Amino acid sequence: MNKPPVHAVAPEPWVVRFATQIPPGQRVLDLACGHGRHTHFFLERGHPVTAVDIDLSRLAKRPAHPRLEAIEADLEHGPWPLEQRRFAAVVVTNYLWRPILPNIVASVEDGGALLYETFARGQERFGKPTNPAFLLEPGELLEAVRGQLIVHAYEHGEFPVPNGCRAVRQRLYARRAST
């Protein structure tokens, strides 16, 4: 029997660590949601969730939920699907498409949070992704939010991953000031 990969089931520890900072019942955006591990994690915590991905078939394998809004959109070749929408939390993991970084940051509402974690330069030593287009440069997430969000936690380094290997990642937890 084939078991689903751990990354398809368990939420990232970085996301879990800061999830308590998102007020109950506030809307969460799970961008490039994949199998929906963070979508369902936040749904289970009582949040309405907007899940966006190019292919929602993996998300559809999970039970439907009344607080779930699923949007199928090509983030790399189509228009930004969330124009003028803001969220209490924006979650992005294992995904990088630099042209939409300003849209991602702009999607964080006043007082809201950005939880972002993905691969960084140096990852090529350990395996995919190896293409520099999908690897953050040192400090790149910090630069993406500079002057717009207040950084509360940031890490860049080599970390263990569930399959027993290591990965080079950048992690950011930042908030927009309340007005």
Write the DSSP string, 127-140.
SS---GGGSBPTTH
Helix, coil or strand: residue 42? helix
Average confidence score pLDDT of the chain: 91
Residue 38 lies in a domain: yes
CATH classification at residue 41: 3.40.50.150
Residue 1 lies in a domain: no
Q: For 118-174, how does the pLDDT look when each residue is reduced to its tens digit (9 = 90+)? A: 999 999 998 899 999 999 999 999 999 999 999 999 999 998 877 778 899 999 999
Q: Is the pLDDT of residue 5 over 70?
A: no
> In this predicted structure, what is the pLDDT of residue 172?
98
> In this predicted structure, what is the pLDDT of residue 7?
40
Q: For 20-47, how does the pLDDT look when each residue is reduced to its tens digit (9 = 90+)? A: 999 989 999 999 999 999 999 999 999 9
pTM: predicted TM-score of the whole model, two decimal places? 0.91
| Average pLDDT of span 58-85 | 89
Q: Is the pLDDT of residue 64 over 80?
A: no
Question: Which residue range is the domain that position 155 belongs to?
Answer: 6-175
Q: For 100-119, how does the pLDDT look when each residue is reduced to its tens digit (9 = 90+)? A: 999 999 999 999 999 999 99
Gap between the Cα atoms of 101 and 77, Å rounded: 14
Q: Give exposure, 35-46, as e/b (b: 16+ Cβ within 10 Å).
A: bbbbbbbbbeee
What is the tally of structural domains in the chain?
A: 1
Gap between the Cα atoms of 171 and 116, Å rounded: 6
